[in-house]
Structure 1
Amino acid sequence: MAVTVETLEKLERRITLTLAATVINSEVESRLKKLARTVKADGFRPGKVPMSFVAQRYGAQVQYEVVNDKLGEAFSVAANEAKLRVAGMPSIAQKDEAAEGELAFDATFEIYPEVKIADLAEAEIERVSSDVTDEAIDKTVEILRKQRRSFAQRGAADVAADGDRVSIDFEGKIDGEPFAGGKADGFQFLLGEGQMLEAFEKAVRGMKAGESKTFPLAFPEDYHGKDVAGKEADFLVTVKKIEAQHLPEVNESFAKALGIKEGTVEALRADIKKNLEREVKFRVLAKNKGAAMDALVGKAELDVPKSLVAGEAERMVANAREDLKKRGIKDADKAPIPAELFNDQAEKRVRLGLVVAELVRSQNLQAKPEQLQAHIEEISQSYEKPAEVVRWYLSDRERMAEVEAVVIENNVTDFILGKAKITDKQLPFDELMATA
């Protein structure tokens, strides 16, 4: 039987589904009979409840279920018959008019779009690279030293200097009135490391333990505390304690404390370099992948199904609530997060997904078994027991699906970069690491 498909707007389509009343009634009766075998009711033995009682109590619910099931089947058959790739769930509404003995419904839905990708040879992409320098290794060593620093109290005559840890009491007022967050006792911070506003650090620098000082402080216009941003406060600060920091020397003891088996500074620097190179590789790949995907979408022409965007936005809301839950927010699953907040991002994700899927299909860029294995083995190298990590991935379908998605993205990226006009750019290590 031919299915008539009505085009409404762009990707929106409508078909009419009909169900024979006799088929519905027969299925309802069959299900009610099965239900009667297990229904319990006062005054009746199990399996002996009258059908009239079962029909009265459960008839409407069973009929609703049957109609839904039959509509699902009818829609699937009709969509297959019309060779439609349905995007999202259909919206089904019963029609007022129908032939005698039938129920008629309109099913309104969207279909997947035709994706047209222009010549990628015309796309222009800036491909970045970066190297791990000795300076980068030196900075990492300094970070590791600071993580293991110790402090010793200074003498009464010593003044606070950069690098010292100071303990202070302070109170700030705006127009003579205290403000939220403007007071603390026994507050600690490290001078010269940007933990406080520069004007605050400047005032404390040079003070002695037991000394007090009053000074003005202008909060920046873009200060995170909106209530005080752009305003000027007067602070009273008292230095309670000054501690000088001691950084451990970079020697064999330091290397061993960091888990370097060889216990040498050379082995420590080699280990740091290896880890930094892994991070650099990841960040470079991410930046180049992003540039390639942007170029791909820029060369694609398609309409995006609204239903898919709505579904993606709802998933993003669910993820946001889950993130709040992990942070310990009470009733996070009920947080009033409008899906509209994510519409633009959801639209971009859906658009990219459709374009990537078309390129994968048309260019046979699916993940090969050897690529999956190689990717898992590469991931495992950053763990102490690589073989266990490999088994952990191979034993779970969901984890393997995640690996497959990454490999496919890499295949797509390589394909695009192999076609586009490439401009290579060497990024300084610090600039690369500062990129989100």
Structure 2
Amino acid sequence: MQVSIETTSGLERRLTVGVPAARVDGAVDDRLKKATKDVRIPGFRPGKVPMKIMRQRFGPGVRQEVLGEVMSQSFQEAVIQEKLRPAGQPSIEPKSLDAGKDLEYVATFEVFPDVEVTEMVEFNVEKPVAEVTEEDVDNIIEVFRKQQGNWNAVERAAIDGDKVNIDFAGTREGEAFEGGSAEGSELELGSGRMIPGFEDGVVGAKAGEEVTLALTFPEDYQSEDLQGAAVEFKVTVNAVEEMVPAELNEELFSQYGVEEGGEEQFRKEVAENMTRELKNAIDAKVKQQVMDAVVDAHEGVEIPRALIAQEVDALRNQMFQQFGGAGGQDMDLKSLLPDDMFTENAQKRVKLGLVLAELIGKFELQADGDKVRSTIEEMASTYQEPEEVVAWYYSNQDQLASVESKVLEDQVVEKLLESAKIAEKECSYQEAIAPAGQEEA
């Protein structure tokens, strides 16, 4: 087999491969000989069909199959021979496919970059410091009570936290605009679902009353046509309901998996879950800062376009599934969710993956078995039968590999934190668990 390689640009390589005709023709003959055992042709006994007839009838089809297999196999052999690491699938252009002649094709593909790890010392990390207080537990329990509570109609004026049923019609310069009207719409006041000023304007209104709201759409509103637009809404309040939280009783406790021990045990388990959530949130924020520092320290790393495209597709499908995944297989996801929405994040994730792989090798890390076990047990602890969940993870290689990958990432973070400058920041439980950048909100 003859192989020549050319660097076309950056990470792209062009591999020209020549495969002796004997390899292809021999494979075709072998396949045709095996096929004679099963072929039924009138005038010939089973297994006695002459090869001449086999080549005439089945040779072209079999040759196409063999050519595909030989090109795939020889490409793998060529990249091993040339010590290349392809990133993504190659684009193969046949040059010579004629029977009796050497097979020749050109494979164009990208390779993984050689990543030079930058030494990371004294980079800054801010670590939230918080604790779960009795007040925090009270607040979460109040949320649970409302989740299991009931909405009851009231005749008083609406206040923040009430739910109202409304009809509304919006106009812009006297003309109705798309999406600006609805009938029988349910709205919880204070939820922030509507544009600023809308929910505040309904506060104080009773069932049967009408209010007119002069408002302005935010400058960053999702519809460009309405960004910063001055509008007017006429709102009719059909009904006002107040939330009546569920009682703190055995029925409520059982809804959250506490069958014995009453309120004391319920509070204990709520506090334990909040403490676990707090730890995970703090760890996640610290980890994200470390990962961001890793990416920033390796700006010059080249990224294969093929890997970015794969990551864009993965992020697109992930978002599609998060929003219900409805619409069927024929839906054009690329039109609905274009590449530009995901490209920047995909580039960052691919770069991070490449650098982390080098760091794992540099630090000679392997997934710590005890940490893998404790991670799985922690995830399983939120289920009613944790032992079954643990057993499922260890019997499912894909899921186990996913946990091992996470543990390896955490071990890299621990190693890098040894050289970081960590500043602790005291904050509340709610601030600590809020997503990065949303602490004040």
TM-score class, shorter-chain normalisation, is 0.7 to 0.9
Structure-2 residue corresponding to 1:22: 22
Return closer, same or farther for 1:160/1:79 CA change in 2, 3 Å cut-off.
closer
- Shift, 1:268, TM fit: 2.9
Structure-1 residue corresponding to 2:79: 79
Q: Determine the C-alpha separation between the residues in 2 that align with 1:375 and 1:88.
A: 32
Q: Determine the C-alpha separation between the residues in 1 that align with 2:320 and 2:266.
A: 42
Q: Is the 8 A contact 1:164 1:191 kept in 2?
A: yes
Structure-2 residue corresponding to 1:303: 302
SS at match of 2:334: coil
- Shift, 1:409, TM fit: 0.9
Q: Is the 8 A contact 1:121 1:419 kept in 2?
A: yes
Structure-2 residue corresponding to 1:285: 283
Q: Is the 8 A contact 2:295 2:348 kept in 1?
A: no
Q: Is the 8 A contact 1:120 1:419 kept in 2?
A: yes
Return closer, same or farther for 1:267/1:314 CA change in 2, 3 Å cut-off.
closer
Q: Determine the C-alpha separation between the residues in 2 that align with 1:27 and 1:330.
A: 42
- Shift, 1:303, TM fit: 3.0
Return closer, same or farther for 1:29/1:197 CA change in 2, 3 Å cut-off.
closer
Alpha-carbon RMSD across the aligned residues, in angstroms, is: 3.6
Residue 163 (structure 2) aligned to one of 162, 165, 170:
165
> 1:225-251 CA deviation, whole Å, 9 max, x = no partner?
555443344443333333344334557
Q: Is the 8 A contact 1:296 1:416 kept in 2?
A: no
- Shift, 1:401, TM fit: 0.8
Structure-2 residue corresponding to 1:133: 133
SS at match of 1:89: strand
- Shift, 1:151, TM fit: 3.8
Structure-2 residue corresponding to 1:274: 272
Return closer, same or farther for 1:206/1:286 CA change in 2, 3 Å cut-off.
closer
Stretch of structure 1 that moved more, 137-146 or 339-348: 339-348
Return closer, same or farther for 1:28/1:154 CA change in 2, 3 Å cut-off.
closer
Q: Is the 8 A contact 1:125 1:422 kept in 2?
A: yes
> 1:183-204 CA deviation, whole Å, 9 max, x = no partner?
4333333344544455444443
Once the two structures are superposed, the pairs formed by residues 177-188 of structure 1 within 5 Å of their partners are 177-188=175-186
Residue 258 (structure 2) aligned to one of 257, 260, 264:
260
Structure-2 residue corresponding to 1:236: 234
SS at match of 2:418: helix
Return closer, same or farther for 1:167/1:56 CA change in 2, 3 Å cut-off.
same
Structure-2 residue corresponding to 1:363: 363
Q: Is the 8 A contact 2:195 2:218 kept in 1?
A: no
Unaligned runs of 5+ in 2: 437-441
- Shift, 1:395, TM fit: 1.2
Q: Determine the C-alpha separation between the residues in 2 that align with 1:321 and 1:41.
A: 52
Q: Determine the C-alpha separation between the residues in 2 that align with 1:376 and 1:75.
A: 40
> 1:298-341 CA deviation, whole Å, 9 max, x = no partner?
334543333333343344455456556x4322445543355565
Once the two structures are superposed, the pairs formed by residues 9-408 of structure 1 within 5 Å of their partners are 9-39=9-39, 51=51, 54-95=54-95, 102-155=102-155, 158-197=156-195, 199-224=197-222, 227-248=225-246, 250=248, 255=253, 258-300=256-298, 302-319=301-318, 326-331=324-329, 334-337=332-335, 339=339, 342-408=342-408
Q: Determine the C-alpha separation between the residues in 1 that align with 2:255 and 2:87.
A: 57
Q: In percent, how many aligned pairs have the same letter?
A: 38
- Shift, 1:44, TM fit: 7.4
SS at match of 2:219: coil
> 1:96-153 CA deviation, whole Å, 9 max, x = no partner?
799x953444444443332211222243333344332333223212212322333443
**Equivalent residue pairs, number:** 432
Q: Determine the C-alpha separation between the residues in 1 that align with 2:222 and 2:81.
A: 59
Q: Is the 8 A contact 1:322 1:332 kept in 2?
A: no
Q: Determine the C-alpha separation between the residues in 1 that align with 2:154 and 2:101.
A: 96
- Shift, 1:400, TM fit: 0.7
SS at match of 2:390: helix
Once the two structures are superposed, the pairs formed by residues 392-431 of structure 1 within 5 Å of their partners are 392-431=392-431
SS at match of 2:121: helix
Q: Determine the C-alpha separation between the residues in 1 that align with 2:276 and 2:261.
A: 22
Structure-1 residue corresponding to 2:439: none
> 1:329-386 CA deviation, whole Å, 9 max, x = no partner?
2445543355565443333222211211111122121113223222212222222222
Q: Determine the C-alpha separation between the residues in 1 that align with 2:57 and 2:37.
A: 14
Q: Determine the C-alpha separation between the residues in 1 that align with 2:54 and 2:419.
A: 68
- Equivalent residue letter for 1:288: V
- Shift, 1:27, TM fit: 1.9
**TM-score, length of structure 1 as denominator length:** 0.83
- Equivalent residue letter for 1:418: E
Q: Is the 8 A contact 1:5 1:15 kept in 2?
A: yes
Q: Is the 8 A contact 2:166 2:238 kept in 1?
A: yes
SS at match of 1:120: coil
